[in-house]
Amino acid sequence: MYNLDVNSMSWLELTAGGLSIFLLLFYLYNLALPKPIPGIPYNQSATKRLLGDLPDLFKHQKQTGEQRRWFALQNQKFNSPVCQVFIRPFGKPRVILSDFREAYDILSKRLREFDRSERAREAFAGIIPHQMLAYQTVDPKFKKHRELMRDLMSPKFLNQVSAPEIYSKVNTLVRLWHEKCLHAAELPFDGKRDIQRATLDDVTAVSFGLDDDNSATKRQLDDMLARSTAGVTFTQPGKKIVDFPVHPLAKELDATLTIVESSAVGLSSPIPRWHYWILYKLPYLKKAARVREEWTRREIDKAVETISKDGTKHTLATRSVLEFMVLREEAAARKAERPPRFHRRRIYDELFGFIIAGHDTTAATLSWGVRYIADAPLAQEKLRSLLQNVFSAALAEHRQPTTDEIISASIPYLDAVIEEILRLSAVLPIVSRVAMVDTTILGHVIPKGTSVFFTLNGPRLMKTAITVPEAIRSESSQGTKSRYGEWRAEDVEQFIPERWIDVDDKGVETFNAMKGPFLTFGSGPRGCFGRRLAYLQLRIFWVLLMWNFEFLPVDSELRSQDVVEHVGVEPHRLDPYGYGAVNNETSGTEATPQVKEWLLHLQETPSQRSIPPLPAPVQSPLGVSVSQSGTTGTPAPALGHATSQALELNQLHLLHHWKIHTSVDLCRCSKTLYIWQEALPQVGFQYQFVLHALLGLAALHIAYTSPTERARSWLVGMYHHNEALTGFRRELSFITEENSEALFTWSLCNVLYVFTTSNPLYQGIDGRPTSSTSVQKEKLLGSEWIPMIRGLRAVLEPTHNYFRSGSMKAIMNLGNWDELDPAQESQSPEDANFCRARESWRDSDRAEVYEEALQVLRKCRLYSYQFREMDSETRSN
């Protein structure tokens, strides 16, 4: 082997060799440096370092917590609608376009010149590689995926399948926030997580159904009711926020959120494919991916089984996105004369892509919207007033607007509010395309293969426009000059829903979507597939939230402007964060509008919620103000006759539950709803034994609706009913015109109590019908309560003329009591179970008396049940 003798080499040879290596390295270094496209502005310093603009981008991210809004700043920096940045080492520059008209033109008209970019495909490659986002428009696979999802955004599917599920889940959120308002005592509380979970619930329900056992919002509500019933106090002395406990998600939903949050890597990393590969080696993400796969497989199998049993072959009969996709696959298989493949990757990824898009971006938009709404009290007041006028029947009947009412109503200002929130939030502030051929943008040459980023939060859309000579625009862009208006430079960054409204000579307002630049959903054939679903979600959310709550400012010290990026840009999750609650009757604050990202004052609006306000001049003792006073140590209003004690927190919770939930479930007749929600509690605040009766029924109602709290709630209900019975016996000795309504009210509650405790609940406390607890209840029913109810007939006779002319008179004019005969009706399982009480007096010498009382009870049950059926028939029609 030849050995190189360095000592024998001349200094000239060594110098020449070293210089050659240096020149080679210098050449390679310069070759690797970013190469700008001629004529397009760029950062000079970026072309002198291998990482290009990445150091500046990372610095911005460190300061603000996000990346994507940095791009629009570059156009403002150069005062140019077109610039270029270098964010991928050894890669081509990215061109940034911040001009609405040119972006709209490229997205909707210049389809042969631009298509889906590699960057957009890489963003979700790690989680849904076979979803339609991964394919360019010219790819035949894209058309097959579109065919699979076709008609999911049709009005029929949205109105019949999506809307009812969304409405149901938002109503659960409303119930949760009512409960939080009750306990927040005018302090801010966590609301952002509630919005995230509610949107996850509704899109999951639309996708393949979601029962209450897995609903994140329902589980949170049940957990809170259980803690409240147990007497848990949520406020802490000295703290300016209420940190409500967070109930764990079902493992499937938890896995979904884990995977969604990992998508931030694909949208922010300069090398997303490699980053995803490393990330999914982590145990927690591997587990989440496995749970997602198993969950999807189970749901697909269930959908196939359901469709096979029903025998339906028409997509219009489907009840979920998944059932729709199963039928689509069956149809495609028949056409291709092959067996259906329900577990194809494209079905899995399209379904999960539907969930991601429907959840993350909608939740982020709602969170931004709450900030804008709280900062605009006049806009909020106007919208609420318009909702009252449009849904006047709902207001008069003290209920929520129905799904059909919300969908069909024409409310231009609501459309304007939603559009303005979408414009300003820009949760997806960048849309990208790749040049398929050598082309030009605003006079600048764009080589084939160049990625172009269109900013949706920059000049002309959310910032002052940058002037562009008309001559350098494309011909198709020049032709759309008059299609859209322009936003005023002085208020383009402000939340002004009126900017979307046209007013005619008669003062009639109409919504005009063409009033100015708007690209939140993109445009053209690759625009947002779920646009219609997003509008439907936002419409239902905002109607019900504005109907029930008023969003108020918070203290300036709780403000923050930080954001976080997942799929979309959203408020940063701080600890603590959330919404707060104050009451209309006690607020009166004149604080400057302030927001901490998602710390807001949230107050119930008595005139809008399903609970009717008390008639003036009486102030409702059941509003949030009482609950807040109770939690902060201030005495609640006196209970009136026979007591002056303050309500304890757990009693306030039961009282609130009566008014929000129990009374509504008990009364199925709108003519008497006011009596149950307002008149009976008013009597309770005058007579303590009546109040105990109401609290006892509310506790039993919680026992029915929250199985995990059944035993505890049952005992609470018995305690309050025993207290009510003691007070009733005292009043019974002195029957007067004054206490006649109280005695009548107690009698109603007592009958309901007997009905409640005679149903299967008395077998479910410990799950064994023959348990000691069950036997004790049979004894109470047979040996004590029936004779008591029979005696009430005689007690109420002298008071009948008093209460029938008072606030209870509406009850006396309902139904057909004299025509009812339980013996003539076919016996229902409920009635048969009710008659089991006979066992407790079988050998009694007073059996005849007890039997007579039982018939009265059966008649009462039959009488009351007709109103439930009447209500059901009304709703079905």
Q: Which residues are annotated as a binding site?
A: 528
DSSP state string for 478-526: HTTTTTS----TTTTTS--GGGGEEE-TT--EEE-TTSS---TT--GGG
User: Which residue(s) pair with 453 in the sheet?
Assistant: 96, 432
Distance between CA atoms of residues 432 and 568, nearest Å: 15
Q: What letters, b where the CB count within 10 A reaches 16 and e where it falls short, cover 300-336?
A: bebbbebbeeeeeeebeebbbbbbbbbbbbbeeeeee
Q: Residue positions in the annotated binding site for heme?
A: 528
Distance between CA atoms of residues 477 and 569, nearest Å: 29
Angle between helices 216-229 and 163-184 in degrees, nearest 10: 30
Confirm if 198 and 169 have CB atoms less than 8 A apart.
yes
- Angle (CA) 176 177 180, round 5°: 95
Tokens at 469, concatenated: 């000579």
Among candidate residues 365, 316, 321, the one with its CA nearest the CA of residue 165: 321
Residues in the chain: 877
Tokens at 594, concatenated: 């302030």
Distance from the Cα of residue 155 to its chain's centroid: 21
Torsion 753-759-765-769 (CA) sign: positive
At a CB cut-off of 8 Å and minimum separation 6, what does 641 contact?
Answer: 686, 687, 688, 739, 742
Among candidate residues 162, 176, 146, 152, the one with its CA nearest the CA of residue 204: 162
At a CB cut-off of 8 Å and minimum separation 6, what does 133 contact?
Answer: 116, 120, 121, 123, 124, 353
Work out the end-to-end distance of the chain between its first and last CA atoms, rounded to an integer number of angstroms. 99
Tokens at 178, concatenated: 């009512």
Separation in Å, CA 759 to CA 374, 704, 788: 46, 11, 19
H or E element at residue 565:
strand 563-565
Tokens at 194, concatenated: 């509630």
User: Which residue(s) pair with 510 in the sheet?
Assistant: 502
How many C-beta atoms lie closer than 10 Å to residue 146's C-beta? 15
Distance between CA atoms of residues 320 and 286, nearest Å: 28
Confirm if 861 and 758 have CB atoms less than 8 A apart.
no
Separation in Å, CA 266 to CA 118, 173, 259, 565: 12, 31, 12, 11
How many C-beta atoms lie closer than 10 Å to residue 567's C-beta? 23
